[in-house]
Amino acid sequence: MTEVDDPYASLRDRVTIITGASSGLGAAFAESFARAGSNVVVAARRTERLDVTAEAVRSLGRSALVVKTDVSVPEQCSELVERAIEQFGRVDVLVNNAGISSAVPATRETPEQFRSIIDVNLYGSYWMAQACARVMQPQSSIINISSVLAVTTARLPQAAYTASKAALVGLTRDLAQQWGMRKGIRVNALAPGYFETEMTEAYDDEYVTTVLLPRIVLGRAGLPAELAATAVWLASPGAGYITGQTILVDGGMSIA
């Protein structure tokens, strides 16, 4: 039985919006949801990279829509959802993946630097969830991408990033209880550990080998496909009794 044929894994003919889909984890999410049968709306600020993601979706036999979006702007979030409805007539899944990071010592971080992280990571996720919830039907799913840093540290100065990702855990719980019974929408979060992405390319080799990897029980970076597979399952009918939860996908970093 294939992934698409299995009723507990299939997202056949569903419509999934993925923010931050221009590269890295976002691109992996797009391909995995397409493999599970979903049409995919890819959104980010860099449209030239989005076209590559969209072509990967189409190569898997699914439809893709590219929408340039800055999630920190509520109006653009609403426009993204409107475009999805115009194209596909529905929105079933939102993967709130757009995010930015910084590593600035707390005594030197400016208000502008701190707010820029919160604007994208926290506010952007809220504006997207809000816009999608207005059109989603029962049995829809919202997946917020938090971070292992919501429960531990990476021994780097990342106050704004950590605060934004920890706040997403609380936001996930509250939206789940607001929209579960009233709208039939499940809201959960994934908290990734160390994955090799554009965001983690700034880590120097010594930090990775002497500080980061020794804290990971499985002793390696995660594969984007592993996180994406978890997201597909969480959006599928097989996870239909799960809501308000944050699932750590961190190779054991949070327990080391």
**Which residues fall within 8 angstroms of residue 112, CB to CB, at 6 or more apart?**
none
Cα–Cα distance for residue pair 51/201, rounded to 1 Å: 23
Cα–Cα distance for residue pair 94/127, rounded to 1 Å: 12
The first and second tokens of residue 105, run together, are 């010592």
| E-only strand ranges, 78-205 | 93-96, 141-145, 186-192
Give catalytic residue positions: 161
Cα–Cα distance for residue pair 191/166, rounded to 1 Å: 10
Where b means 16+ CB within 10 Å and e means fewer, 237-255 reads eebeeebbbbbbbbbebbe
